[in-house]
Amino acid sequence: MPRYRMIVEYEGTGYSGWQRQQAGVLSIQEAIERAILASGQEEATVHACGRTDAGVHARGQVAHVTLAKNWPPFKLMEAVNFHLKPQPIALLDVSIVPDDWHARFSCIGRWYRYRILCRRAPPALDKGRVWSVGYKLDPNAMQAGADRLLGRHDFTSFRASLCQADSPIRTLDRLEVRAVEDEIQITAAARSFLHHQVRNMVGTLALVGQGKWTPDDVTRALEARDRSAAGPTAPAEGLYFMGAVYPEE
Residue 248: CB atoms within 10 Å = 8
Mean pLDDT confidence for 97-107: 96
pLDDT tens by residue, 65-85: 999 999 999 999 999 999 999
Peptide bond into 235 cis (omega under 30): no
Distance CA 189, CA 5 (A): 21
Instruction: Name the DSSP class of 53.
Output: B
Contact between 194 and 222 under an 8 Å Cβ cutoff? The reply is no
Residues 203-237 have pLDDT tens digits of 999 999 999 999 999 999 999 999 999 999 999 99
Q: Residue 249: its pLDDT value, please?
A: 67
Residues whose CB falls within 8 Å of the CB of residue 47, separated by 6 or more in sequence, listed in order: 63, 64, 65, 102, 103, 104
Kindly report which listed range (19-23, 70-74, 145-149) carries the lowest average pLDDT score: 19-23
SS3 of residue 10 by DSSP: strand
CA dihedral for 76, 69, 39, 101, sign (positive or negative):
negative
Question: What is the rounded CA–CA span in Å between residue 7 and residue 63?
Answer: 7
Respond yes or no: is residue 138 known to be catalytic: no
Pairing of strands 109-117, 131-132: parallel
Model pLDDT for residues 25-49, shown as the tens digit of each residue? 899 999 999 999 999 888 999 999 9
Q: State the pLDDT confidence band at 162, using cuts at 50, 70 and 90.
A: confident
Choose the catalytic residue: 53, 138, 154, 182. 53
Check if the beta carbon of residue 32 is closer than 8 Å to that of residue 84.
Answer: yes
> Using CA atoms, how far apart are residues 33 and 29, in angstroms rounded to an integer?
6
| Band of pLDDT at residue 248, cut at 50, 70 and 90 | confident
pLDDT of residue 99: 94
Give the range among 39-53, 82-96, 174-188 with minimum mean pLDDT. Answer: 39-53
Percent of the chain with pLDDT over 70: 99
- Closest C-alpha among 191, 203, 193 to residue 52: 193
CB-CB contact of 185 with 222 (8 Å): no
Please give the angle made by the CA atoms of 86, 91 and 94, to the nearest 5 degrees: 150
Number of helices (H) and strands (E) in the chain: give both, helices first. 5, 10
- Whether 214 contacts 147, CB under 8 Å: no
